[in-house]
């Protein structure tokens, strides 16, 4: 199955619309979806995005509706409550609700980040910071580890 790869930054217009990267759209439609499901990441820094199939799988895992049982994870319920299904319009755009953008700090630009079977949406600056941190950590690890002189800094 095709994977969500690479990082694309797009603009959010005054009406709150953003283009979903064309490649991502084609992957979604390959899977048979014309909408995406968004919900806040647990770390609170990004929005997670997946298709409805993933949500269905999740629900199946936590079990169906049974008012007599208390064992249904409240986390899972919170997830369903925080998630939104967004239709992709005829021009390939979505409108992310303010509840999600505000929490993450997204304003007029956002970054789509491939994660394989799903992707994330970030505000540009925090994403930058995060990437730099990751790279730095990798660099340190490399430096501390072996004498790998193939420098690429």
Return the number of other C-beta atoms located less than 10 Å from residue 43's C-beta.
8
Residues 84-143 that bind DNA (CB under 7 A): 87, 89-93, 95, 97
Of residues 63 and 87, the one with the C-beta less far from DNA = 87
Question: Does 4 engage in binding with its own copies (CB under 8 A)?
Answer: yes
Task: Tell me the closest approach of the beta carbon of residue 72 to its own copies, in angstroms.
Answer: 8
Task: Tell me the residue ranges of DSSP E strands in the chain.
Answer: 7-11, 17-19, 35-40, 47-50, 84-87, 93-95, 109-114, 119-122
Q: Output the CA–CA distances (angstroms, integers) from residue 126 to 4, 110, 123, 142, in the order listed.
A: 20, 10, 6, 24
Among 2, 6, 13, 134, binds DNA (CB under 7 A): 13
Choose from its own copies, DNA, none: what does 16 bind? Cβ within 5-8 Å by kind: DNA
Question: Does 19 engage in binding with its own copies (CB under 8 A)?
Answer: no
Alpha carbons within 13 A on the beta-carbon side of 144: 6
Name residues whose C-beta falls within 8 Å of residue 55's C-beta, 6 or more positions apart in sequence: 37, 80, 83
- The residues of the shown chain that bind its own copies, judged by CB under 8 A, are 1-7, 23, 37, 39, 41-43, 48, 50, 52, 54-56, 58-59, 61-62, 64-68, 74-75, 77-85, 113-118, 131, 134-135, 138, 142
């Amino acid at each position: 199955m095709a994977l969500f790869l690479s990082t694309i930054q797009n603009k959010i217009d005054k009406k709150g619309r953003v283009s979903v990267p064309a490649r991502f759209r084609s992957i979604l439609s390959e899977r048979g979806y014309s909408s995406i499901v968004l919900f806040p990441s647990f770390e609170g820094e990004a929005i997670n995005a997946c298709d409805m199939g993933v949500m269905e799988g999740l629900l199946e895992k936590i079990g169906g509706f049974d008012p007599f049982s208390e064992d249904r994870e409240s986390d899972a319920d919170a997830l369903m409550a925080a998630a939104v299904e967004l239709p992709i319009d005829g021009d390939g755009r979505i409108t992310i609700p303010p509840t999600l953008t505000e929490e993450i700090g997204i304003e007029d630009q956002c970054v789509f980040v491939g994660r394989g079977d799903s992707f994330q949406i970030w505000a540009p600056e925090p994403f930058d910071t995060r990437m730099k941190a990751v790279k730095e950590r990798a660099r340190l690890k490399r430096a501390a580890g072996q004498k790998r002189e193939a420098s690429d800094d």
